[in-house]
Each structure stands twice: as structure tokens, then as C-alpha cells.
Structure 1
């Protein structure tokens, strides 16, 4: 068996100090998930200041998620070796430095580089924080409660991000959405060493560097190729880049099968319930990312609201996601995991489809109702994913399962922006002689009312197609969830 040291003192484990430690651990979780979406509302003002190309705009948004997706499993393994608290604090310092660099970035290229660094720091924070929760709460019931709270902050962070961004943008410049990270990280760096125990494995071998290189080298070109194929159509360069990514991921999978201590435990995917959880998290995050980004642009550039007004309209959805994330696991025990996953995914799909009622000149009620219904579904689904990731596997493999589930969240978010966001952009540009983005078109319109209205109509059409595509993904996953396993078996597994 793997040896762990040092043990958590009884006075800490499960006691008042443990709950204070949980409060400290929630800070990086909120920041990492919030920084995925905090730029959604800032993009119009950021674009006017830095003048990024359409390609750079997408990279500013999605490179952070790509780096998280590519490094989460690696950083989880590294934390097991050098200490989970150590890597948490190092990651917080990296995240802080990168936040300052992003806030004062003079060009789009430097902002993209800062987002890369933020992704590297963020990838150390998520797996180590959840692993330390398992250390702080050895009691099963307390640990389940703590994981539920952790999941609520993780799921709610991406919904809260645009709201916080809107409030900041109402009073400050776009760089403030990054500087808000600094006081939060300072609290973590000050109180983390006091409240959090160190926890490391002492008999693990060196981390497999070829696996690290293959995983990152496969994920990034694959997503890059998919993004350009979706945005620009079929071309040789994008196809070759995507195929290089696929080839490297195939080599990565083959290597994992040969290693005694792989970065990715492929045997977990032989469990039907685990596969459903990973599929649900990816489909959910893909649709949520597209919905959040596109409606943020809609509320500002189509309806003419300022960032704060647009942010306030996102409050109902944020509340729905957060509240329902707290109760998803309990609903799973009551209805059965299969039924709960199916219900949650269908609610999310219905909410996305309700956005078809949104138009250039009206339909705000459809947006509010649809976003709340989608938020209820997302909240139930996301907390159940974390619960299943831990419960559907033996205790000794829980860390690997959690790493995979977190990766699926981040990869789903990145793919949602890359695929569905690019589909919306392609539909927009095909609607007339417009600029690369709606923002560009409005700036260059010269006050031409006909051109402005046509551009807004074209953007709304693209938003409809993209959110409907997200709904279809959710419905397909709901069918898979319903057919994959019988409810009695699913309930037994999660228990």
C-alpha cells in the first residue's frame, strides 16, 4: 500500500480547525473556476483597448482552460509526491504573479501569455485542494458534506465570474477583473500554512515525464485544430494539426497501459457510472461555457446594456447553480443516480432551448427563465459528478478519479468556447459583410442603423444555433445516462 505522511492530528481532522481549513481551500477553487468566465463581460472593453484579432480573442478566453485541462492530472500526481499543501501554495504564488501581469498587459499577446501562466498555477490548485479535503475530513459523512460545498463553489464560480466582472467593470478598467485575485490569494498564502496539514506519498516513483509531454502535446493541438476547423471550415493545416494531437493522445493512452503508476488510470472507464459522470460533466460545461459567453455579448452588444446591468441579469442563474450544487448528491440518493443525471441534463437542455425565444428587440423573459432552468440542471449534475467520481471507485483510486473529473470540467469548458463559440462566429460572419466580430462591426458601422440591426440579427442567429447545439449534446448525454445502467445498480454503486 502507498504510505502517506504525516498523519493529520486528531485536533485538526474533522474539528473546527478543519472547517476553517475548508474555508481557506474554497478560495482558490472559487478563483480558478471564476477566472474561466470572468472575462466574458470584459471582452468588449478589453477589445477596444488592446485591439486583439478574432483569433486572439478566442485564445484569451480559452487558453486558460486548455492549460488547466492539460495539466490537472499531472499536477495532481506531482502534489502526491512533493506535498499537496506545498504545491497548493506554489500554485497560488504563480497564479498571483500571472494575475498582475494580465491586469497590466499592454498587448493581446502578453495577455495570452499571462493567461497561460494562470492556467499553470490554476492546475496546481484544484486537485490539491480536493485531496486536502479528504485529509481534513476522515469521517465519511463530514467528507461528503465538505465535498458538496467544494463542488458548489467550483460549479458556482463560473456563474459568479461574469457578475463580479460586471461590478468591477462598472467602477474600474478591465484589468481589475485580474487584480481582484490578489487579496484572495494573500489570505490563502497567510493562513494556508497555519490551517492546512501537509500530505504526501512516500513510496511513489518519479513522475513519468513522457506521459506529461504526450498529454499536453495531444490536448493543445487537437483543440486548436478543432477550433479552426469549426471557425474557418475544412482546411489542410487545421486538419493536420488536429490529427497530430490525436496521434499524440493515442501514444499517451498506450503508454498509460504499460506503466505501473500511470498518470491516467484507464481502468476507471470500465465502470459505466464513472463514464456517465465524465460525459455529463463535459457536455454540461460545453453548453454552459457557450451559453455564458454568448449571452454576455448579447446583453451588452445587442441590447445595449452596460457590464453591470448585464451582470445583474446573470444573478438568478448563479443562485440556481450554487444552491442546486449543494443538494445534487442528496437528490441522487433519493431518486437514484441514473434518474438524477437524466433529469439534470434534460433541465439544462430545456433551459438552453428556451433561449430560442430571445431576439434583437425582445425576449428578455425567455433569457431569465431559460438561464434559471439551465442553472438548476447544471447545479444538480455537477455536484453529482464529483460525488460519483469518488464513490464509484475504490478508495485507493479516488485521487485519480477526481483528477479525471476535474479535467473533464475544464476540457468541456474549453471545447464549448472553441466549438460552439466558433460555430456562432461562423454563422455571424456568414450573415453579411460584417467585421470579424459583432464588436468590430459596431465600432466600424459609422452609425449605419441598417448595418447595425443586420449584424445584431446575425449574432442572435448564431447564438440560437450554438445554444441549440449545446442542448442537443445534453439531450444525447441524457439518453446515454438513462440507458447506461439500471437505477438500482447506479444507486448501489454510489453508496
Structure 2
């Protein structure tokens, strides 16, 4: 008896459903990039200091990263479409709360709620893609389009956010999420399948709480240590997070249906892109935040101009993602991803040079290379990771790439960002002349945004000195963290080439296994006859 199984091919309804999920992803990305543009305006409107700004920027990622594993497992049990629609509704409400927040604390809480909603939406979309597109080549195209929607959303967030911030108050930039949430709520039930994995039983709330309790104190401890030094409370928080993380792992090993299948981590096709995503997000997230501040506070660009400066890179990235999906059928993932990371490194080098020559053109070109180079890791790496898990566990498996990226970005903003702030503070403390009033010098040393505000009340000559020193200190900090990022990514390239060198192009392994099935069955039949 022969077996020539072929996975089902997606039809028109699945592709329309993919469009709805890409719309949800598009506005999640738009919200993140709108925040980067709006941060200087938020700092002025809410009187947020440098640490408040870091919390506003990274609380979203902390919550998303903490809840993705829980949401992935929950989607496998209660249904991914249902969880996606609940997340879309919550996303719209949280966007309204963000827009009308009256204090830094209120905005931080609203951003945390946005993180809860985004965690539900992201894991649901990735799990649904794995279920709806089981044919390997179609899966690669679907993940490529999903990655493109993220970059298109980033472009839209920058452009629309820039226009709104030029004419309206900062909260208006968050209102663009509300119509998108309504569209997903209307179209989602019509085109998305009511899929629920084979994982049954009640949600494992103990594991969910352990994953949340492990991540939050550890990240908080790292953040506080980077700000105030290695004191007793941050160290205790980090140790608590580590201990709870160990307890989470031990519990997963003891369960018949764990929240997270730890056997996935024995597969290099899963672990290698996962680690690469974490390292890249850890380092480039903080660099991108500093670049956005540099555009507006050093180069003097308006929010709209800053958005337009990043738009070429994001458009190029969105165009590259589908092309990468096609190339992945012919080129081994190791070579494709490594070439992309080499482009990222080249872009970061241009960013360093741009700071030395004060050249927006070099900034724009560097970011374009950086964005395009990241497409293979996102599109091909995501396909490798999610494809490593069976469809019934796709929700939990798909949570891990997002956990890696979100936590990497958040920890990077907290740690690398705080290091950048500390470098800026040290440079400003040593460079300001004695004529600058102590209160102005103290405020200017906290952040470049505070320097711009505090210098406004000084005589023109003295204000120019403060601003020139602030810009020089900020540019120096940006160059140092960018150089460190490029150096570490060279090691990431080497890791990818070594660990993924035997992985064949996408779809080729499945075709080979399908060709071998009839042969194996024929040999089995022949042996039976001979017996």
C-alpha cells in the first residue's frame, strides 16, 4: 500500500482571511511607530521625564512578551479566531484610553492594556496562518505577506502619525487604531475559520501565572539596575524571575499537555532563528528609538519629516519580504538570512557615519539597508519556527518568535536605552560651562528633550551652547550603541551559518519526504510478498 499525502492547498477564502489578519498586524505595527514619533510631544504634554518616557516606550513590549506564551496556549484551547476578535475589541478600547491619558502613569497603564490586546491578536494570527496555509510554499508566501504588513503598518504609522502630530494634539495619533479594530471585528467572523487545536482541557492558569511572574520581575530588575545600579532590590527581582522561570520549565516537563512544548527547543530550525531574533531585537530596538529622537531633536526634523525619512527603508522592507519568500524556495535559509544580516550591519555602519557627518541622507540610506536586511530573518525564520510545530500546537509555538522579539526589544530599550541615557548624562555633566544655571544643567543632563525645553528660557548665546552640547552628547551616545550592535550581529551571522547550514530550501524537504514515502511503501510490500 502506498501513501502520497500532500497538505491541503489554500483557496480564495484563506487568502482573504490572511488579508484581515494582515490588517490587524498592520495597525499593531502602526501603533508602535506612532509612539516613536509622538514621544517628544508626549514628554512635553504630560511633563514626562526621561525614565517616564522609557516606561511609556517599553511597558507595551514587557506585557506583550509576558503574555504571548499564555495567549498562544489559550488560543489552542478556546479557538484562535475567538481570541483574535476579543483582542481586536480590547485593542480599540485601549487605544482610546491612550489617546485621552492625562498623566504619564495613565498612559503607561493604557499602553499595558494595549500589550494585552496585542498579545492575543499576534499569537492568533500566526497560529491561524499555520493552520490555514499548510502547503510549505504557500506558508512561506503567507508569512512573507504577514511580515510585509508589519512594515507597511510602520510606514503608515509614521506618515499618518506625522500628519496628525503636525496639526493636532499627541493623543490623536492613537485614534487611527479604532477604525481598524472595527473592520477586523466585522470581517473576521466572515472569512476566518473556527479553528481550535486538538489541545483540550482547561487553560493551565498556573503555568500562565508562572510565565508572567518570571518575566516581569526579571525585566523590571534589569531596568532598575541599568538606571540606579546593582542594588539589593533589582538583584532580588532578577533572582526571583530566574527561580520562577525554572519552576515554569519544571512544570512544563511534568505535564502531558504543557503550555509550551519544550521539545521544540531541541530543533535547531526553531532555536537558531529564535535566538537571532532576540539578539537583533535586543540591540536594534534601542538604536531605532535613538535614531527617531535624533531626527527630531538633533537634525531638527518635524514628526512628518522624521516619518518620511524612515519610510523608504520600511517600503523597501515590505517589498523584500515576498521576494525573500520566493528566494527561500531555492536558497538555503542559512545563506539567505546571513546575507540579510550582513545588510543590517552595513546599514548600521552608515548610521554611525551619519552621526559624524550630520547627514540625514546617510541616516536614511543606512536605515533602508538595515530594514531590507532584516526581512529574511523575519519571514524565513518565522516560517522555520512555526513550521517546526504541528498545526494543533501552532498557537503556542507561534508565540515564541514574538516573545523573543518583544522581550528583546523591551529589554534592549530598557538596558541599551538606559546605557545610552547614562552616556549622554555623563557627557553633558562634563561639558556644560559654569554659566549655565544649575537647575537648567540638571534638566538638560536628563535627556535631550529636556535640554531643548530648558534651553528655551536662556539667553540666545547660552541656549545655543546648551543645545550644541546636548546634540553632540546624544550623537556620541547613538554612535556607541550602534557600533556595539553591529559588532554583536557579526557573531549572529556566524551562528546562523553554522547551525542552519544543513537546512534545505523551504518546501524541498517536504517534497523529498513525499517521494520517499511511495518507495518505502513499495519496499514494504515487496518484503511482505517475499515472506
State the TM-score, normalizing by the size of structure 1. Answer: 0.92
Deviations 1:144-175 (A, max 9, x none): 32222112213554465334322321232211
1:63 alignment counterpart: 59
CA RMSD of aligned residues (A): 2.2
> Could you tell which deviates more after superposition, 154-163 or 268-277?
154-163
Which of 476, 481, 503 is residue 461 of structure 1 equivalent to? 476
Structure 1 position 241 matched with structure 2 position 243: no
How many residue pairs were aligned?
Answer: 484
Which of 162, 169, 182 is residue 165 of structure 2 equivalent to? 169
Which of 313, 317, 323 is residue 317 of structure 1 equivalent to? 313
1:344 alignment counterpart: 340
Structure 1 position 82 matched with structure 2 position 78: yes
Structure 1 position 150 matched with structure 2 position 146: yes
Q: Is the 8 A contact 1:155 1:325 kept in 2?
A: no
Deviations 1:418-472 (A, max 9, x none): 1221121111011123331110111112242111101110001111111122222
CA deviation after TM superposition for structure 1 residue 139, in Å: 4.4
Which of 405, 411, 426 is residue 422 of structure 2 equivalent to? 426
- Which aligned pairs between 1:7-18 and structure 2 lie closer than 5 A? 14-18=10-14
Q: Is the 8 A contact 2:348 2:367 kept in 1?
A: yes
Structure 1 position 439 matched with structure 2 position 449: yes
CA deviation after TM superposition for structure 1 residue 360, in Å: 7.2
Distance (whole Å) between structure 2 residues aligned to residue 334 and residue 152 of structure 1 = 20
Q: Is the 8 A contact 1:391 1:493 kept in 2?
A: no
User: Structure 1 regions of 5+ residues with no counterpart?
Assistant: 1-9
Change (3 A) 1:473 1:163: farther
Change (3 A) 1:55 1:488: closer
Distance (whole Å) between structure 2 residues aligned to residue 194 and residue 357 of structure 1 = 51
- Which aligned pairs between 1:249-328 and structure 2 lie closer than 5 A? 249-328=245-324
Larger radius of gyration: 2
Distance (whole Å) between structure 2 residues aligned to residue 58 and residue 486 of structure 1 = 39
Change (3 A) 1:82 1:397: closer
Distance (whole Å) between structure 2 residues aligned to residue 31 and residue 316 of structure 1 = 19
> Could you tell which deviates more after superposition, 216-225 or 141-150?
141-150
CA deviation after TM superposition for structure 1 residue 131, in Å: 2.1
Distance (whole Å) between structure 1 residues aligned to residue 151 and residue 252 of structure 2 = 30
1:367 alignment counterpart: 363
Structure 1 position 109 matched with structure 2 position 113: no
> Could you tell which deviates more after superposition, 159-168 or 335-344?
159-168
CA deviation after TM superposition for structure 1 residue 265, in Å: 1.4
Distance (whole Å) between structure 2 residues aligned to residue 79 and residue 401 of structure 1 = 11
Determine helix, strand or coil for the equivalent of 1:335.
coil
Distance (whole Å) between structure 2 residues aligned to residue 203 and residue 454 of structure 1 = 59
Which of 461, 477, 490 is residue 492 of structure 2 equivalent to? 477
CA deviation after TM superposition for structure 1 residue 140, in Å: 4.3
Distance (whole Å) between structure 1 residues aligned to residue 420 and residue 317 of structure 2 = 24
Which of 37, 40, 44 is residue 36 of structure 2 equivalent to? 40
Q: Is the 8 A contact 1:66 1:411 kept in 2?
A: yes
2:528 alignment counterpart: none
Q: Is the 8 A contact 2:352 2:479 kept in 1?
A: yes
State the TM-score, normalizing by the size of structure 2. Answer: 0.86
Determine helix, strand or coil for the equivalent of 2:193.
coil
Deviations 1:201-238 (A, max 9, x none): 36512221111111111111111221222233332222
Change (3 A) 1:335 1:201: closer
Q: Is the 8 A contact 1:320 1:379 kept in 2?
A: no
Change (3 A) 1:416 1:34: farther
CA deviation after TM superposition for structure 1 residue 363, in Å: 2.0
Determine helix, strand or coil for the equivalent of 1:161.
helix
Structure 1 position 51 matched with structure 2 position 47: yes
Q: Is the 8 A contact 1:285 1:416 kept in 2?
A: yes
Distance (whole Å) between structure 2 residues aligned to residue 349 and residue 165 of structure 1 = 28
Distance (whole Å) between structure 1 residues aligned to residue 199 and residue 415 of structure 2 = 42
CA deviation after TM superposition for structure 1 residue 303, in Å: 1.2
CA deviation after TM superposition for structure 1 residue 361, in Å: 6.4
CA deviation after TM superposition for structure 1 residue 283, in Å: 2.1
Determine helix, strand or coil for the equivalent of 2:37.
coil
Distance (whole Å) between structure 1 residues aligned to residue 242 and residue 134 of structure 2 = 40
Change (3 A) 1:494 1:358: farther
CA deviation after TM superposition for structure 1 residue 391, in Å: 3.1
Q: Is the 8 A contact 1:277 1:385 kept in 2?
A: yes
Structure 1 position 132 matched with structure 2 position 147: no
